[in-house]
Amino acid sequence: MNKKQYEEKRDALMKEAKTLLDSGKTEEAQKKMDEVEALDNKWDAIVTAQANLQALTKDPKPLGPIAQDMSGTFGENGALNAVEAWASDAYVNAWTKKMMGKELCNEEEKTYKLVNEAYTHATGNTSIVIPKTVSRKIWEEAGEMYPYFDDIDKTYVDGVLALIQEESSSDAKWYDEETETEDGKETFKEYTLSGCELARSIPVSWKLKEMSMDDFIPYIQRKLAAKMGAAAGYGMTHGEGANAASGKPEPLGVVTALKAEEGTPNVVTYKKDSVPSYSDLTTARSKIKSSYASGLKIYANNITIWTKLANVLDQNKRPIFIPDPTGEGVYRVLGMVVKEDDSMKDGEILMSNAERGYSVNINKEMTVMLDEQVKKRKTEYCGYAIMDGAPVTLKAHALLEEAAV
């Protein structure tokens, strides 16, 4: 069984299951769905084995955040001091005073230089390193607004990260003793996350900089989270990839990839200016392989959640939009947590296993640069990071969208 045969067999089984469900034959429909799950597991086993074998032929790549950049700089003791300083309250205090244009005492200057000289020496980057705790809070706040980005499992590899994506595979066969075995027809494609520059500027008036240090840190965190989070969130869902129309490379968003796939097999549309039907939702859900069911979530913006999803009724005219008792998301639909994500467009409903179906590499952690504009009496704080992302597989995602006409 090759990839095409697998997909044809799966589609046929799903159609049979849907027909049986529509006829009220739930037990028979469940048997068909069990067949689908068994077929998916069989296919996954082959694909996983081939991917693991391919991965073993690659040199292992190191993982680690900004601390890794510092670790090769001073030797064991010096690197440890720089990393500890980066995570310390003393560096938070020194960094904050530097951002506000205040004078540092000798100890603060020493801590500030220890961290930033280590990072500059290791990376050649002359921007100011954001304290570990502040950086974490920025991304946490960004994740609250853009949960798809937050749910993705991230790696921290400096430079280009090469990953393997399954394209097609042949199935195993039974043979008798006399028959020669056929060569497998497994094909994989390699895609690289080379890094896209992400920069957003925040203007702060000199008058505003006179706020207390305790107020300044959460203010900058909120502003950078909103700016950087919006760009990162958009990139993971709607980024246009290396050949973006803007002329600047972007991550390849999952929605973009689903729409670009030949025949758009994992995209389902519902009637314009209407609420999607129960059947529309179940059809979209059927596009996702059962092996990705655990961790599957729904992502949509506020308008779509409350004007579309909240009004979907099942075949017995009962709402399927039910409160989530775990508190993880707003509500649940078909057992999936619904998360409000501002990167999604009106009418778009994304079903996705973000953790297993998408990969993000943070090539360079967030730093900040200062630009003092004397005539305008303000300071521009420019947040800067390098990251890239792309779907690992499209079988972990499906898009339900409103028809254009």
Model pLDDT for residues 175-228, shown as the tens digit of each residue: 555 655 555 444 455 556 667 887 777 787 877 777 777 788 888 888 888 888
Asked, for residue 65, whether it belongs to a domain, the answer is no
162 vs 78, higher pLDDT: 162
Print the domain residue range for 22: 3-60+160-193
> Which among 144, 176, 193 is the end of a domain?
193
The pLDDT of residue 174 is 61
φ, ψ dihedrals at 326, nearest 5°: -80, -20
Is 284 part of any domain?
A: yes
Shared-domain flag, residues 292 and 398: yes
Q: Does any domain span residue 317?
A: yes
How far is the C-alpha of 321 from the C-alpha of 149, rounded, in Å? Answer: 24
pLDDT at 177: 58
Exposed e or buried b per residue across 278-309, where buried means at least 16 C-beta atoms within 10 angstroms of its C-beta: bebbbbbbbbbbbbbeeebbbbbbeebbeebb
Q: Is residue 29 part of a domain?
A: yes
Residue range 93-150, pLDDT digits in tens: 998 888 888 889 998 899 888 888 876 655 545 578 888 888 888 888 888 889 999 9
Is residue 169 situated within a structural domain?
yes
User: CB within 8 A of 392, min separation 6: which ones?
Assistant: 163, 165, 356, 357, 358, 359
Distance of alpha carbon 115 from the chain centroid: 29
Tell me whether residue 306 is in a domain.
Answer: yes
User: pLDDT for 345-385, tens place per residue?
Assistant: 999 999 999 999 999 988 877 788 878 888 888 888 888 88
Count: domains in the chain: 2
pLDDT digits (tens, 9 = 90+) for 252-270: 999 999 999 999 999 999 9
DSSP annotation of 171 reads P
**384: amino acid identity, one letter:** Y
Q: Is residue 287 part of a domain?
A: yes
- Average pLDDT value for the chain: 80
114 domain-assigned: no
Token match 């095409």: residue?
A: 4
Q: What does the pLDDT average to over 285-310?
A: 95
